[in-house]
Amino acid sequence: MNAIAEDTAGRYDRYFRPGYVHRDIYTSPEIFEQEMTHIFASDWVYVGHESEIPAQNDFVTRSIGRRPIILCRGKNESLHVLINRCSHRGALVCRQAQGNASRFVCGYHAWTFGNDGRCVGVPLSHAYGPDFDLASQGLRRAARVESYRGFIFASLNVEVPPLTEHLAHARRYLDEWIDRGDCLPVVVRAGSMRFETHANWKVIYDNAGDGYHPPFSHISMLRVFARRYGDVDMQYYSGNFDEAPLISRDLGNGHTLLDQRPSMHAQSAWERQHVMPGREILREDLNKHYGEARALEMLDASTGSGLNLNIFPNLLIIGNQIQVLEPMAVNRTVVHWFSTTLEGAPDEVNALRMRMQEDFPSFGEVDDTAQFEACQAGMEGVPEMPWIDIRRHMNTGAGHRGDDGIWTEPISSDQHMRCYLDAWRRTMNAGAARLAKAGADV
Amino acid sequence: MSDVAQAPAVPGLFDLDFYRRMQALVQSWVTLGEIPPARLPAAEDRAACERLLHAEARLIDALRLEDWLSLYTEDCAYWIPADVVGADPARFVSWEFNDRRRLEERVERLEGGRAFSQIPITRTTHIYSNIEMLTAGSDGMEVLCNFLIQTNLCGRVSQRAGWNGFLLRRTGAGWRIVLKRVSLFDADLAQHNNSFTL
């Protein structure tokens, strides 16, 4: 190992102490730019769901970190992830959120690309001389694109391990989430909510696996439901809720899980759920058509999953929604909440799923967002207090390795942050080392 | 036309037929040209409905949310779509789709003193303009208007804009709101804190 590589191998170690993380990783514009390269442009990143582009030539425009991309369905069900930057002057080639197109024509000089990225036309190309090679003018493509049961991930780094290896134990819980809906396929064409949040993307990732905050941050929501409906979903967050059957799990590679199912679903997820608009009458209608027992099975599929499955760096599965983090700047993130329906489920079930998927965003996420922005403001404003506390259950001996080999801690543990920040540190160190090596090779 | 002013089959409880009627109503609004003369309201009704809307806006801005709720019927809906194309709320997510119960819960949450999204509160000034009214049977009124909401949260000034679709009903206690559909002109794009009353 040469001197430069040695120096950079642990470049990001300085932002960590046992039980603490330095505020710079949330507030430094330089580190944000480095993340866009070392993490978002080097690791597997979730880009969309297959059901969003069901037909040939369907596309959606998304991003990988700050890099704009086009996700398209090509011939023979193929999936393409194109960098949405014209090979000519750098303009965004596609400027629509979604559509159906076999070709993309840049609006500036009409350079034209197939939806597999090939350049298929350049107006007046004689002026580039006789050696001009159309084939070398294509849109850049993601180095790797893989779908895991409909969830499409892409990587700009050809050297990433296979997706299933990257997903590690998260794969099992992704399966459980996908298979939960009465054996019906999940469809992601029911719209989305987008929350603009004035906070670093990791402040939101921190929260996604934080089983300590619910009874405090969400007290306004929990009180209303307790007063009206009694011991319904999430009321188990009271007293010493670490003793409830609620767990935090380390799924590997920065992926984590909060599992609330044993408490949230108890005997029946539906019976435990508080009231949604239409609850009584839609249940009656289903009872009439299918009988009470079958109706109850279907209604269970309308309730929240009880899982918070966090797949580093940008995919957060919460309830029945697919939440995606889009980092915009060091202190600005757009949080996309894609809602889901079940293909082939009765309309009553999907209508209840819609009302359910509006419930937490409007009564809970808004309060979370206030905490995110408060954290960002406090961290940015007070440089003489740079350390952020992530010590919960670090030294209590409360963790254990499950029979399945997965390390498990009480729900209020900070192990989610410790785990994913360790993956963050390792990925960033590796990126810095790669960059240093490339520099040394020149 | 007149049936849209009627209550859902069971008050406050939205069934699929209710969603179908909502869809028909919204489609009639987005395809509306000039108001047919037969549906122009009597001056007296128009004035009464306008007073109701102005009171509604004023009570929101004054944070008198219990009084604001009293302007809504028992079978009301307060709806903020998450799209700008008139998607079917039975199969497409909204920002909010509240029945009376959830609307009361919303007010209770905001007034309980612990709703962090509104600590501090978002200050608002609601402006309703371009008000158009269409009769819906003898005791119903459909109102379309543009809105501009000037807000200030912690010193950060911003605006919300779009159009409202109201469905009003003549009751023994005067005109009341059966539906307020808040169509943000950028509902499909990222929104900052909209946890105040739109």
Extents of the domains making up chain A: 45-148, 168-428
Which residues of chain B neighbour A275 with C-beta distances below 8 Å?
101-102
* CB contact at 8 A, A38 and A428: yes
Region B110-127: what's the mean pLDDT? 96
Q: Does B83 sit within 8 Å of A225, measured CB to CB? A: no
Instruction: Judge whether residue A281 has pLDDT over 60.
Output: yes
Q: What is the spatial distance between Cα A175 and Cα A177, in angstroms, rounded to a whole number?
A: 5
Q: What is the spatial distance between Cα B55 and Cα A417, in angstroms, rounded to a whole number?
A: 49
Instruction: Judge whether residue A266 has pLDDT over 90.
Output: no
pLDDT tens sequence across A18-48: 999 999 999 999 999 999 999 999 999 999 9
Q: Which helix (H) or strand (E) holds B182?
A: strand B174-184
Q: Quote the pLDDT of residue B8.
A: 47
R_g of chain A computed on alpha carbons: 23
Instruction: Judge whether residue B15 has pLDDT over 80.
Output: yes
Q: Does A195 sit within 8 Å of B99, measured CB to CB? A: no
Nearest-neighbour CA in chain A from B120: distance (Å): 10
Instruction: Judge whether residue A89 has pLDDT over 50.
Output: yes
Q: What is the spatial distance between Cα A190 and Cα B93, in angstroms, rounded to a whole number?
A: 6
* Strand partners for B184: B162
Of the pLDDT bands very low, low, confident and very high (cuts 50, 70, 90), residue A9 is low
Range with lowest mean pLDDT among A36-45, A177-186, B185-194? A177-186
Q: What is the spatial distance between Cα B179 and Cα B181, in angstroms, rounded to a whole number?
A: 6
> Which residues of B have a CB under 8 Å from any CB of A?
9-10, 12-16, 18-19, 82-83, 87, 89-99, 101-102, 105-106, 108-110, 112, 114-117, 119, 188-195
Instruction: Judge whether residue A2 has pLDDT over 50.
Output: no
Which residues of chain B neighbour A217 with C-beta distances below 8 Å?
116
Region A297-301: what's the mean pLDDT? 92
Q: Quote the pLDDT of residue B171.
A: 96
Q: Quote the pLDDT of residue A231.
A: 87
Nearest-neighbour CA in chain A from B104: distance (Å): 10
Q: Quote the pLDDT of residue A84.
A: 98
Mean pLDDT of chain B: 94
* CB contact at 8 A, B89 and B191: no
Both tokens of residue A392? 């919960």
pLDDT tens sequence across A341-357: 999 999 999 999 999 99
How many Cβ atoms sit within 10 Å of the Cβ of residue B15?
A: 19
Mean pLDDT of chain A: 94
Instruction: Judge whether residue B1 has pLDDT over 80.
Output: no
Region A192-217: what's the mean pLDDT? 97
Buried b / exposed e along A33-54 (16+ C-beta atoms within 10 A)? ebbbbbbbbbbbbbbbbbbbbe
Nearest-neighbour CA in chain A from B112: distance (Å): 7
- Answer whether CATH 3.40.50.620 is correct for domain A168-428: no
The residue assigned the tokens 């037909």 is A55
Q: Quote the pLDDT of residue A4.
A: 45
Region A406-410: what's the mean pLDDT? 97
Cα dihedral A24/B119/A337/A200 (nearest 10): -10
pLDDT tens sequence across A110-119: 999 999 999 9
Q: What is the spatial distance between Cα B173 and Cα A352, in angstroms, rounded to a whole number?
A: 33
Query: Does residue A230 sit in helix, strand or coil?
Result: coil
Instruction: Judge whether residue B2 has pLDDT over 70.
Output: no
How many Cβ atoms sit within 10 Å of the Cβ of residue A269?
A: 21
Instruction: Judge whether residue A275 has pLDDT over 50.
Output: yes
Region A410-429: what's the mean pLDDT? 97
pLDDT tens sequence across A358-395: 999 999 999 999 999 999 999 999 999 999 999 999 99
Q: What is the spatial distance between Cα A80 and Cα A142, in angstroms, rounded to a whole number?
A: 8
Both tokens of residue A8? 């950079």
User: What is the CATH code of the structural domain delimited by B3-31+41-184?
Assistant: 3.10.450.50
* CB contact at 8 A, A335 and A199: no
Region A180-184: what's the mean pLDDT? 86
Query: Does residue A390 sit in helix, strand or coil?
Result: coil
Which residues of chain A neighbour B155 with C-beta distances below 8 Å?
none
* CB contact at 8 A, B8 and B101: no
Q: Does B97 sit within 8 Å of A224, measured CB to CB? A: no
Instruction: Judge whether residue B11 has pLDDT over 70.
Output: no
Of the pLDDT bands very low, low, confident and very high (cuts 50, 70, 90), residue A441 is low
Q: Quote the pLDDT of residue B81.
A: 98
Q: Does A277 sit within 8 Å of B99, measured CB to CB? A: yes
Instruction: Judge whether residue B3 has pLDDT over 70.
Output: no
Pick the CATH number of A45-148 from 3.40.190.290, 2.102.10.10, 3.40.47.10, 3.40.50.1110: 2.102.10.10
Nearest to B114 among A220, A348, A371 (CB): A220
Q: Does A191 sit within 8 Å of B117, measured CB to CB? A: no
* CB contact at 8 A, A350 and B90: yes
The residue assigned the tokens 């009765």 is A346
Q: What percent of chain A has pLDDT over 70?
A: 97
* Strand partners for A247: A259, A410
Region A416-436: what's the mean pLDDT? 95
Which residues of chain B neighbour A363 with C-beta distances below 8 Å?
105-106, 109
Region B25-43: what's the mean pLDDT? 97
Region B60-87: what's the mean pLDDT? 97
